[in-house]
Structure 1
Amino acid sequence: MSGSSTQDSSPVLHIAGQAISSADVVSLLRRYGLWPALVKEIVIDRAIASVTLTPDQARQALDQFLQANQVSTPEQRQRFLDQRGLSEADLAAVAERTQKLQIYKADTWGPKVESHFLQRKASLDRVLYSLIRTQDGGLAQELYFRIQDDGQPFADLARQHSEGQEAQTGGLIGPVELSVPHPALGRVLSISQPGQLWPPTRVGEWFVVVRLEKFLPARLDDPTRQRLTDELFNAWLAEQVQAALGEHDPVDESA
């Protein structure tokens, strides 16, 4: 998108008494790191251009938008508009845009969610586990035998000897997704059975004694479906924005 020097020098905005030309707008967006954000929103607008809402959907979209922004009275509504420089028409458009985007994401990536879930399931499974970590390998070995052979409570030993924050919870961590722990620890937990205690394992600078308490397999419920839909959309959006940023300079500054 190019523009003549006359167009570039014409004031298009007046902010705090300063006239800002179209060329200045682009320069300022770049300077403040806002150009990628603008490109992203333009890509979204182009993607949802064909999505239409029924009157009922439009009213519902506005109601949900106002509720999400804690706008419930006429005074709050006017203040919301004034603070953002919006008109009532702008407000409706913003609210409808949010709803259109949700419809677009569901229609475009909803059918791909199940296969994406199967690819991601191993990292989405959650575990509850007990952990003792120490930089003393000998101590780690001793604690392992005290739990395994002597039956001493894991929680008590974790409170006394673990050198991480888990000492405050008796060594108990989670539930967390298997992608959260250190990869080496995640691999151990992924092949564990509930109640299985592992001998000291080197994880980075630590020696860890770990026991799986509970395995919670991931399910493709509504929150997970929405999360994976968003993942697929965001990956697509990042590619589109990067491609757009790599195109010819949006303003022909040599004109």
Structure 2
Amino acid sequence: MTTSPPPDFSPVLHVGPQALAAADIVPLLRRYGLLPALAKELIIDQATAAVALTPEQAAQAVDQFLQINQIASPEQRQSFLTQRGLSEADLAFLGERTQKLKQYKRDTWGPQVESYFLQRKSHLDRVLYSLVRTREAGLAQELFFRIQDDGQPFADLARQYSEGQEAQTGGLIGPVELSVPHPALSRILVMSQPGQLWPPTRVGEWFVVVRLEKFLPARLDDTTRQRLIDELFNTWLQEQVQTTLKDNSLVETETE
């Protein structure tokens, strides 16, 4: 026997034989873990609502959106819309929204970048270093003396004895940001001068012999500036999403 929908049932979405009403959408988003994604997009819409674009900027924004998504022909454009269930108006909205978000992030967090860069600089500095690691303390000590006293090439010994992937590069790692290596190794590197060789040091399960090759201080160039703006924005956005979900959870609890 087929159950008839209630008289006030007004489907807003059909998926195969299933008809969904507006009241079904939020519970389904929650069930499938999609509610945070929806909250994030709505928060972005609210934040960028006051950002105004000129007609020229709006047209350029749509063109850039098409380029980023590699849409060059009318056929590709129509395929893009069809696959995502979008209209031409939606396409224009998405292009303009991308530009508005860039402008919003720049206007809101751009003034904070210099001070934030100083806070983050010690993690953004990069190092190029050579490493040999082994689980044998005695071997690590021997390799240290063969490099320091006998002048044997670090790269040759790393290829022969190092037990990590760095053996394939002659022990050479980087350049990487100082936040990438093990914290104990980062502390050694930040204290080093280029060319300085350190005696074997215990790092986790390994005994390592390390030498700093180059220290590359971070600079606040355009790429780093944009990265830091994005970091500040993403931190803010995550906080807003969590607050939104928490507040809605409290409302639902109170109404049960």
Inter-CA distance 178–202: structure 2 relative to 1 (3 Å threshold): same
Quote the residue 1:171 is aligned against.
171
The correspondence of residues 107-118 of structure 1 with structure 2, limited to 5 A, is 107-118=107-118
- Deviation of 1:252 after TM superposition, in Å, equals 9.4
Answering whether residue 210 of structure 2 is matched by residue 210 of structure 1, we say: yes
Please give the secondary structure, in 2, of the residue aligned with 1:195: coil
Quote the residue 1:13 is aligned against.
13
Inter-CA distance 87–153: structure 2 relative to 1 (3 Å threshold): same
Quote the residue 1:85 is aligned against.
85
Aligned partners of 1:95 and 1:110: how far apart in 2? 22
Structure 1 contact 126–176 (Cα < 8 Å) conserved: yes
TM-score by length of 2: 0.94
Please give the secondary structure, in 2, of the residue aligned with 1:211: strand
Q: Report runs of 4+ in structure 1 exceeding 2 Å deviation.
A: 6-10, 248-255
Please give the secondary structure, in 1, of the residue aligned with 2:248: coil
Question: Which amino acid letter does the alignment assign opposite residue 43 of structure 2?
Answer: V
Aligned partners of 1:200 and 1:252: how far apart in 2? 58
Question: Which amino acid letter does the alignment assign opposite residue 134 of structure 1?
Answer: T
Q: Deviations over 1:147-183 (max 9, x none)?
A: 0000000000000100000000000000000000000
| Larger relative contact order (CA 8 Å, sep ≥ 6) | 1
Question: Which amino acid letter does the alignment assign opposite residue 147 of structure 1?
Answer: I
Structure 1 contact 140–209 (Cα < 8 Å) conserved: yes
Question: Which amino acid letter does the alignment assign opposite residue 23 of structure 2?
Answer: A
Question: Which amino acid letter does the alignment assign opposite residue 188 of structure 1?
Answer: I
- Deviation of 1:7 after TM superposition, in Å, equals 11
Inter-CA distance 76–238: structure 2 relative to 1 (3 Å threshold): same
- Deviation of 1:253 after TM superposition, in Å, equals 11
The correspondence of residues 116-135 of structure 1 with structure 2, limited to 5 A, is 116-135=116-135
Aligned partners of 2:36 and 2:153: how far apart in 1? 54
- Deviation of 1:254 after TM superposition, in Å, equals 6.4
Question: Which amino acid letter does the alignment assign opposite residue 94 of structure 1?
Answer: L
Aligned partners of 1:195 and 1:9: how far apart in 2? 75
Structure 1 contact 155–170 (Cα < 8 Å) conserved: yes
Q: Deviations over 1:21-57 (max 9, x none)?
A: 1221111111111001001111111101100101111
- Deviation of 1:206 after TM superposition, in Å, equals 0.4
Quote the residue 2:38 is aligned against.
38
Structure 1 contact 8–21 (Cα < 8 Å) conserved: no
Quote the residue 2:3 is aligned against.
none
Quote the residue 2:154 is aligned against.
154
Q: Deviations over 1:94-129 (max 9, x none)?
A: 110010000000000000001000000000000000
Aligned length: 250
Question: Which amino acid letter does the alignment assign opposite residue 164 of structure 1?
Answer: G
- Deviation of 1:16 after TM superposition, in Å, equals 1.8
Please give the secondary structure, in 2, of the residue aligned with 1:118: helix
Aligned partners of 1:163 and 1:216: how far apart in 2? 27
> What RMSD over aligned residues (CA atoms) do the two structures have, in Å?
1.8
Please give the secondary structure, in 2, of the residue aligned with 1:202: strand
- Deviation of 1:10 after TM superposition, in Å, equals 3.1
Q: Which runs of 5+ in 2 are unaligned?
A: 1-5
Aligned partners of 1:139 and 1:52: how far apart in 2? 66
Aligned partners of 1:125 and 1:77: how far apart in 2? 43
Quote the residue 2:230 is aligned against.
230
Structure 1 contact 9–22 (Cα < 8 Å) conserved: no
Quote the residue 2:143 is aligned against.
143
Please give the secondary structure, in 1, of the residue aligned with 2:247: coil
Aligned partners of 2:124 and 2:103: how far apart in 1? 25
Aligned partners of 2:8 and 2:246: how far apart in 1? 22
TM-score by length of 1: 0.94
Structure 1 contact 8–23 (Cα < 8 Å) conserved: no
